[in-house]
Amino acid sequence: MVAGYCWDWNSKKIPSDYDIILPEFHFKKRWNLNTDKNLWIIGDKSIEEIGCIHTCQGLELDYVGVIIGPDMRYENGQIITDVTQRSSNDQSVKGFKSLIAYNRSKALQDADEIIKNTYRTLLTRGMKGCYVYCCDKSLAKYLAAQLEPQHESIPKLRIEPEINDEVKYIDFLPLYSIRAACGYFGEGELVDESGWMKVESMGKLNRNMFIVQAVGHSMEPLIHDGDYCVFRANPAGSRQGKIILAEHHNYYDPDYAGSYSIKIYTSKKSFDEEGNWAHEEILLLPKNSIYSPIVIEEENADEFRIVGEFIGVLQTETK
């Protein structure tokens, strides 16, 4: 079992004390930090204690139980994080109460990212399964609702390994992995397509168009995990407010576990006296409010590349 760091580490000074207590279930456990440290998660007695982000990140289990503490709740249709509910023993949010008084907006944004990244890490430690308990009942109901099947009884789209040349870019477009698409349309690398898929209701097709499969939930409800998305490479005109496929170095996207993103593009520009412009900041925005935007600063703009502009999601035929 693991938990968000919302309970003080009382057992450090008084070994007989309990740290995590849920009175309504007569549940009480101690933090693990006083003994095996980073080896706790694979220790013989780890089942008797509760671990936190500092002692389980980078390691995996068959099954994990996660307690989401009062630092995250569901309220007025959105997930709220509350850094004031974190334990003062948690070094990752040390000093945030003082920062809130100095720069409230930035402090809350930074804390929001830390809290969400904490639970993202805890919830992905189990390779075979994950059990979740939420201190906030509304959050528990919301998360349970997200686990309901989204595409029941919908036939799968067909991927053809080979097709006749006569129908390529007429009725069919190539399917690429997101990494291959960024390599081919971004760097001009020679890559192999994963197959070909029939495309309808997307207008006239051409060789600048391609398909990639979306991963994750950051663009829901427009794009779901596993959707096949059509993109157009080298689009003309402004990209402001449009959904794009991007490659960015030194920035991590949790959906794609790396340097690729499908997000809404927006940017801020500055102009010099001669009318020349430069990016002050590039924002890659998710549609799902539980995800944080990716912020690319001006000095790293050269590490960012738009590979394609989103056209639409391939739809299956309804029965």
What is the per-residue pLDDT for 287?
92
Please name the residue that has the structure tokens 């001006």: 298
Confidence of residue 56 (pLDDT cuts 50, 70, 90): confident
Q: Note whether 295 and 281 are within 8 A (CB).
A: yes
Query: pLDDT-based confidence at 100, cuts 50/70/90?
Result: low
1-5, 143-147, 299-303: which is most confident: 1-5
Would you state the structure tokens that stand for residue 181, as one six-digit string?
């698409």
Question: Quick one: 112 exposed, middle or buried, by C-beta within 10 A (0-12, 13-18, 19+)?
Answer: middle
In the chain, what is the straight-line distance between the N-terminal and C-terminal CA atoms, in Å? Answer: 44
pLDDT over 70, % of the chain: 84
Closest CA to 317 of 149, 151, 157, 150: 157
pLDDT confidence of residue 178? 84
User: pLDDT (tens digit, 9 = 90+) per residue, 77-88?
Assistant: 889 998 888 887
User: For position 318, what pLDDT does the model report?
Assistant: 41
The DSSP element (H or E) to which 134 belongs, if any, is: strand 126-134
pLDDT of residue 135: 94
Higher pLDDT, 90 or 148: 90
Lowest mean pLDDT among 90-104, 212-226, 284-298: 90-104
Mean pLDDT across the chain, nearest whole number? 83
pLDDT, tens only, 174-233: 999 888 887 777 666 778 888 999 998 888 999 999 999 998 899 999 999 999 999 998
pLDDT > 90 in the chain, percent:
33
pLDDT digits (tens, 9 = 90+) for 249-281: 766 677 775 778 899 998 876 666 666 656 567
**Which ranges in 64-191 belong to alpha helices (H)?**
96-102, 104-123, 137-146, 178-182
Candidates 6, 159, 132, 141; CA nearest to 65 is: 132
Mean pLDDT, residues 90-104 taken together:
70
* pLDDT at 319 (0 to 100): 34
Only one residue has tokens 């394609």, namely 308
Taking the complete model, does pTM exceed 0.85, yes or no?
A: no
DSSP 258: B
Residue ranges of the domains in the chain?
2-146, 165-313
Domain 165-313 part of CATH 2.60.120.380: no
Average pLDDT over residues 97-104: 68
